[in-house]
Structure 1
Amino acid sequence: MQVGYKLPEVTFHTRVRDESIEGPNPFRWEDKTTADYFKGKRVILFSLPGAFTPTCSTYQLPGFENGHSDFADLGIDEIYCMSVNDSFVMNKWALDQGLKNVKVIPDGSGEFTRRVGMLVRKDNLGFGLRSWRYAAVVNDGVVEAWFEEPGLCDNHGEDPYGVSSPETVKEWLTENKATSAA
């Protein structure tokens, strides 16, 4: 992935709450496209190996959630968390994490992740195909900054974390804002 790259057009199969549906599962399917999420907005997209996993649930997702107002002050309209998990899992994880600011995007088939070159095998952990950990600043569907963890490969023995952290992205945005204002 490179700065200046236009994100691929993909359709994401999501489940959204619909109050007109009665019963214990008031959700309906809603397809959303890359354009629905990214067109006309400056966003942070971060992707991780899996919902409910330790680093993702303890550091990365909470860091972006808790830093939301700082990111908004730095010109970010939305923050999206993507994983190669289905919508049911992503929605339950968002509920479990008490998300109010970060929105989840389910890449259940891994199509988006594959097309941005971040789909890796994690069979060594029993995960199958998953996303390599990364973050990006995306402006109107075009990559403005890219933060990829080192060592991209199948069945990596570790789960590197730091380059794609909220702190790293915030530092880049702060430096970029200062440079832009000069």
Structure 2
Amino acid sequence: MPAKTLPQVTFHTRVRVAAGIEANPFAWKDLTTDDIFAGRRIILVAVPGAFTPACSNSHLPGYERDFVKYRELGVDAVYCTAVNDAFVMFQWAKSLKVDQVQMLPDGNADFAAKMGMCVRRDAQGMGDRSWRYSLYADDGKIMALFSEPGFKDNPDGVPVSISSSENMLRFLTN
């Protein structure tokens, strides 16, 4: 069976422009799925939300910790996506001292929805959110998907087990 291709969306990101005395040295830069994944080997970590406990305490930090190992295994980049805007994703990465894993804001939940991984978290006041998962893609094709069990709207919580960096490393080294 052929690998599933990642859905086409536009991610609204912010990038640093000339570092000068400007009050805001960032500009908007739209990136498409192809801009990020085409011709590259990418790990994508999807989390329910920036600054949430499991995402901040273990999920994202595990991928940051193992970034060098991924590069040694031929991975071109590691991205983290959440249904948060570029400003929130930037501040979250900064607060955790994440500088290797790149933030990929999905503020409108377009990617999460097209992946079939969007859930309602309105019982917690969070609206639409991504389910917790990680994937390995080669040239925009999903080669492995590690989705946490119990996919449903309004879960009590979504622990990190299957989508952990340790499981991704096991997959890539076997």
Indicate whether the TM-score tops 0.5: yes
- What RMSD in Å do the two structures reach over aligned CA positions? 1.4
Alpha-carbon contact 1:57-1:97 (below 8 Å) kept: yes
Q: Aligned with 2:45: secondary structure?
A: strand
- Letter of the 1:143 partner, please give it: I
Q: Deviations over 1:105-145 (max 9, x none)?
A: 00010001100000000112111100000000000000000
2: CA distance between counterparts of 1:16 and 1:174?
33
2: CA distance between counterparts of 1:69 and 1:52?
24
Name the TM-score, length of structure 2 as normaliser.
0.95
- Letter of the 1:82 partner, please give it: T
Show structure 1 runs of 5+ residues with no match.
176-182
Partner of 1:129: 128
Q: How many residues align?
A: 174
Verify: 1:82 aligned to 2:84, yes or no. Answer: no
Partner of 1:156: 155
Partner of 1:62: 61
Matches within 5 A, 1:3-152: 4-19=3-18, 22-152=21-151
1: CA distance between counterparts of 2:19 and 2:103?
23
Q: Aligned with 1:46: secondary structure?
A: strand
Q: Kindly tell me: are residues 127 and 72 of structure 1, through their superposed partners in 2, closer, same or farther at Cα, counting changes over 3 Å? A: same
